[in-house]
Amino acid sequence: MITFFVAFLLSLAVALTLTYFVRNWARAWGWMDPVDSSRKVHVRPIPRLGGIGIVAGFFAPLCALFLVDSGVGHHFRLHTELVYGLFLGGAAIAALGLYDDLRGANARLKFGVQFLVALGLYALGFRIEVIANPFGPELSLGVLGLPFTVFWMVGVVNALNLIDGLDGLAGGVAFFGVSTNFILALARGDILLCLLMAALAGAILGFLVFNFNPASIFMGDTGSMFLGFVLAAVSIKTSTKSGTAVAMLVPVMALGLPIMDTLLAVVRRSLLGRPLFSADKEHIHHRIMSRMVLSHRSTVLVLYGLCGLFTLTALGLNFANSVQSALLLSGMGVVIVVLMRKLGYLDLARAGDMQQTRQRNIRLRSLVKEVSASVRAAKSVQEVWTSVRALAEGLDVSRLELRFQHVRNELTEGIVFETQRAAGSPVSFDLRLDVKDGDAVIGALSLAWANGRNATSRDEELALELVADAVAERSARLFAHADADPSRVVMLRR
């Protein structure tokens, strides 16, 4: 126990210290998470590289084992597959997250790296080969073991990433998962898994000091994906060494909240015709805040309580017999159904509108894809505007305006494009989105409807944000080229 306590304290100290300095460096160098989207909950820019402290805090005591001559260190070094898997896989996932936080990574790159890491772990012996069945004999996966293992690894990594939407939420959820794995490993006398979980617990708590509401730093994708990676890998080891009839159900239940939230997001977006990897404000934590009218901090505490219930169920499954396991799963199922009804996920009254919403969103996605592709291929700001004009008819707007402001030679040049269509109502509803190059506002996209509406749908907001991002990206490059070669500039006036 002393070894575990030392590992916990060392990781806690490293995470505390490094998170403090990373927060200050991020503020000084402008590495902030801006408030540039309607899907953001925070109201001011916050540093987003706190995951560096988590990664360093976790690896610090493990690296120390290579320098200290001890029985635990010798035992750790003998498990080469575990060492290679955690260090190489963890470094790859952390590097991917850091790149995404600093530069932005698309879905193809993220999943490509995650799948490669998962395949590497499978080759090192991190494998799920049986599915437990508390109501009968276990099911052997055979050749399906590889895709199931990869699916588990990639799924958990992204589940932790998706649930990172409120101050302290992802870290707290991960801590409950860590606690479950630590108790299970301690009960079996598995020293290495206890050591790993003690190190990760210290790293999480050191970060949460700065991340609990009101947060002064976010973990970013560096932290959320890394936490998901470690928990997914350790859960495989925990389940394969378990002698219970519900081996794989234990880690599933321990990570019940992020897994449930991810499954709901996939089903919801598929039924409504939304991109699977688009962001929205329909996650469990968003609905608890809006439907139960709770504060940011109260919502996180409620979800901590739910995670505690999942943890107790997971531990109960590990030590229960088949009948008791069935009762536990049935009871937890009732809790989940009640929660889903309370949050409106099982509202049958909305089912009739679902198909109509799906068709509208499919058309909207097609429109945004075409407009964004055309914008990114534009060779001048005039062509950018020509591409954007398709929104007027596609979204039935009465007025569409694209405005640019560009500073050159200490003078601000303004370019305004505008088109109007027949209005059906004297009262209009206006929407404006800033066109931003980093933190600098270089223009605005304005839309007005005169067809009686008084709001835009969430899907339209997200779609227009994607268009605004494409306009910002392309126009910033065009202005940069114009500054480099002034002879190419053609002045346009309204």
Residue 404 phi, psi dihedral angles, 5° rounding: -120, 145
Element at 39 (helix H, strand E): none
Report the alpha-carbon distance of residue 101 to residue 161 in Å, rounded.
Answer: 12
Residues 6 or more apart in contact with residue 158 via CB below 8 angstroms? 114, 225, 228, 262
Q: Enter the DSSP assignment of 444.
A: E
| Residue matched to tokens 């799906």 | 358
Query: Which letter does DSSP use for residue 402 in this model?
Result: E
Return d(Cα 456, Cα 440) in angstroms, integer.
Answer: 26
For residue 305, give both structure tokens.
């309580």
Tokens 């601000």 belong to 412
Cβ contact 424:452 at 8 Å: yes
Provide the H-helix boundaries in 124-213: 145-162, 169-188, 191-211
**DSSP assignment string, 45-101:** -EE--THHHHHHHHHHHHHHHHHS--HHHHHHHH-HHHHHIIIIIHHHHHHHHHHHH
H or E segment and range at residue 440: strand 440-449
User: What's the CA gap between 93 and 236, in Å, rounded?
Assistant: 17
Asked if residue 213 belongs to a known ligand binding site, the reply is no
User: 67-71: long-range contacts at Cβ-Cβ below 8 A with a sequence spacing of 24 or more?
Assistant: 70/3
How many angstroms separate the CA atoms of 442 and 329, rounded? 54
CB atoms within 10 A of CB 417: 18
Gap between the Cα atoms of 488 and 470, Å rounded: 22
**Most distant CA pair in the chain, distance:** 81
Spatial distance between the Cα atoms of 215 and 226, rounded to a whole number of angstroms = 20
161 annotated binding-site participant: yes
Closest alpha carbon to 193 in 241, 229, 127, 147: 241
Binding-site residues, please? 161, 221
Where is the binding site for Mg(2+), in residues? 161, 221
